[in-house]
Amino acid sequence: MARSGVHSIAVIAGDGIGREVMPAAIEVVEAVAGPFGFKVELTEYPWSCQTYTTTGHMMPVDAVDRLADHDAILLGAVGDPTVPDHVSLWGLLIPIRRAFDQYVNLRPAVLFPGVPSPLRDTGAGIDILIVRENTEGEYSELGGRAYAGTAHEFATQEAIFSRRGIERVVEYAATLAKSRSGRLTSATKSNGIIHTMTMWDEVAAEVVARHDGLEYRSMHVDALAARFISQPDEIDVVVGSNLFGDILSDVGAAIVGSLGMAPSANLNPERDQPSMFEPVHGSAPDIAGAGVANPIAQIWSAAMMLDHLGHPDAAEAILIAIRRVLAETTVRTPDLGGTARTAEVTAAILDAVISIDESETVS
């Protein structure tokens, strides 16, 4: 674990554009380490769909033990058209989230100056923070299929919602909301999903009642998704189940310009096990190898990692650099309407970050 000022980071670039955006994030982390007074020791793990093709497993059997020795995990993306998506997801990402009890998945959706939103009217701007439950809910292994290949074939899939699971994620979101505008929205669907979602609503209301000064509302997820489009400036912190949080964060990414602008942190808030930081996007096979992936989500995820490791000033410097490049230059990848390559955007962010004075960060 961490020696003073030295952080041991596990790096899993994964597949597709994960391998293109990870070097960008590492360059930026290494550039801020010296000026902000810390060191990083990086250990790369080449686990990916290629590992699956050659060994039959996405990662080795002792992978979790090896990752446990690090202070944090920086992940790119996994997924390849030759491997079924549920194999890559359940073979790497989900086991890591669960093994280290990373029960909060924090997903910001922020519209930066200079980035066009597909929405005509973004009101006062977009600055949404989605708190997604990350270890239970709809993503469960319980269920099965029967009568395969017959007219009677069916499948069942059990969602798991525990009181403890709901309480702890809503508690995290409520505390976070109080540190921002005080507005917290819970995503529900208790009109249709009458057991798990009614329990979600009840437990969430109990947790929220223990907090003064919160402006709390519970919204059906379909209406909330529409609100993301019609009045995104009204929304601040959103807490949702594993599935609802996942879907809402892709909506969030779309309205702030691109999946390439959406970072995430899989947090173990108690900090007794490593947390994992990764972009919301996947391996993007349609653009993999072309050198045009937007590296900002990965770089921003690395900034969230530095914040978690106790360097909010370094994290903020990276955010200021991203903001400057987008606001003051035309250097941007094609997903944002530009013509720059991944390496050019990375170079511009590096240039900006090394010129940021410590006094410019408020942390």
Ligand X SMILES: NC(=O)c1ccc[n+]([C@@H]2O[C@H](COP(=O)([O-])OP(=O)(O)OC[C@H]3O[C@@H](n4cnc5c(N)ncnc54)[C@H](O)[C@@H]3O)[C@@H](O)[C@H]2O)c1
Q: Which is nearer to ligand X, 40 or 280 (CB)?
A: 280
Is residue 317 within 8 A of residue 356, CB to CB? The reply is yes
* Min dist. Cβ of residue 308 to ligand X (A): 18
* Min dist. Cβ of residue 279 to ligand X (A): 6
Using DSSP, state whether 220 is helix, strand or coil.
Answer: strand
- Asked about 307 being catalytic, the answer comes back as no
- Asked about 351 being catalytic, the answer comes back as no
Q: Does 251 bind ligand X (CB under 6 A)?
A: no
* Min dist. Cβ of residue 49 to ligand X (A): 8
Sign, Cα dihedral of 285, 289, 293, 299 = positive
Rounded CA-CA distance 166/200 in Å is: 6
* Count of CB atoms situated within 10 Å of the CB of 359: 6
Q: Which is nearer to ligand X, 177 or 262 (CB)?
A: 262
Q: Does 294 bind ligand X (CB under 6 A)?
A: yes
Q: Which of 213, 286, 359, 362 binds ligand X (CB under 6 A)?
A: 286
- Asked about 15 being catalytic, the answer comes back as no
Q: Which is nearer to ligand X, 72 or 204 (CB)?
A: 72
* Count of CB atoms situated within 10 Å of the CB of 106: 25
Q: Does 293 bind ligand X (CB under 6 A)?
A: yes
Is residue 159 within 8 A of residue 137, CB to CB? The reply is yes
Q: Give the active site residue among 189, 216, 307, 313.
A: 189
* Min dist. Cβ of residue 90 to ligand X (A): 11
Q: Give the active site residue among 85, 201, 233, 250.
A: 250
Q: Which is nearer to ligand X, 260 or 274 (CB)?
A: 260
Q: Which is nearer to ligand X, 239 or 293 (CB)?
A: 293
Of 80, 88, 77, the residue nearest 264 (C-alpha): 77
Only segment of 135-143, 156-164, 282-290, 352-360 that touches ligand X (CB under 6 A)? 282-290
Is residue 73 within 8 A of residue 96, CB to CB? The reply is yes
Q: Does 134 bind ligand X (CB under 6 A)?
A: no
Q: Does 282 bind ligand X (CB under 6 A)?
A: yes
Looking at residues 318 to 337 of the shown chain, list those that interact with ligand X (rule: CB under 6 A): 333, 335
* Min dist. Cβ of residue 89 to ligand X (A): 6
Per-residue burial over 155-184, b if 16 or more Cβ lie within 10 Å, else e, is: eeeebebeeebbebbbbbbbebbbeeebbb
Enumerate long-range contacts of 300-303, CB under 8 Å, 24 or more apart: 300/108, 300/261, 300/263, 301/25, 301/74, 301/263, 301/264, 301/265, 301/277, 302/25, 302/26, 302/28, 302/29, 302/74, 302/277, 303/28, 303/263
Q: Which is nearer to ligand X, 207 or 336 (CB)?
A: 336
What is the contact surface with ligand X in residues (CB under 6 A)?
17, 21, 77-79, 85, 88-89, 93, 258-260, 278, 281-287, 293-294, 297, 333, 335
